Amino acid sequence: MPATADELRRVALELFASSGYHATSLQNIADVAGVSKASVLYHFSSKELLLEAALSPAIDRLGGILDDATGLAGDDRVRFLEQMVAELLEHRLAVGIFVTQSAALQDVPIVERANAFIQRIAIFFQANVDSPEEKMRFGIALGGTAYLLAQSANVDDFPDDAVLRPLLIAIIGELVTTSSRGH
Q: Is the dihedral of CA 100, 91, 88, 69 positive or negative?
A: positive
26/99 with CB nearer DNA: 26
Is there binding between residue 74 and DNA (CB under 7 A)?
A: no
Q: How far is the CB of 4 from a copy of itself (least distance, A)?
A: 26
Nearest CA-CA partner of 141 in 85, 86, 58: 85
Which of 32, 41, 122, 171: binder of DNA (CB under 7 A)? Answer: 41
Is there binding between residue 4 and DNA (CB under 7 A)?
A: yes
132 binds, among DNA, a copy of itself, none (CB under 5 to 8 A by kind): a copy of itself
37 binds, among DNA, a copy of itself, none (CB under 5 to 8 A by kind): DNA
**Distance of alpha carbon 12 from alpha carbon 42, whole angstroms:** 15
* DSSP letter string, 119-149: HHHHHHH-S-TT-HHHHHHHHHHHHHHHHHH
- Where is 48: in which H helix or E strand? helix 47-67
38 binds, among a copy of itself, DNA, none (CB under 5 to 8 A by kind): DNA
Is there binding between residue 18 and DNA (CB under 7 A)?
A: no
**Distance of alpha carbon 125 from alpha carbon 90, whole angstroms:** 21
Is there binding between residue 19 and DNA (CB under 7 A)?
A: no
Is there binding between residue 129 and a copy of itself (CB under 8 A)?
A: no
Is there binding between residue 12 and a copy of itself (CB under 8 A)?
A: no
Is there binding between residue 123 and a copy of itself (CB under 8 A)?
A: no
Which of 20, 57, 63, 173: binder of a copy of itself (CB under 8 A)? Answer: 20
Mention every residue, 6+ apart, whose C-beta is less than 8 A from residue 152.
92, 158, 159, 164
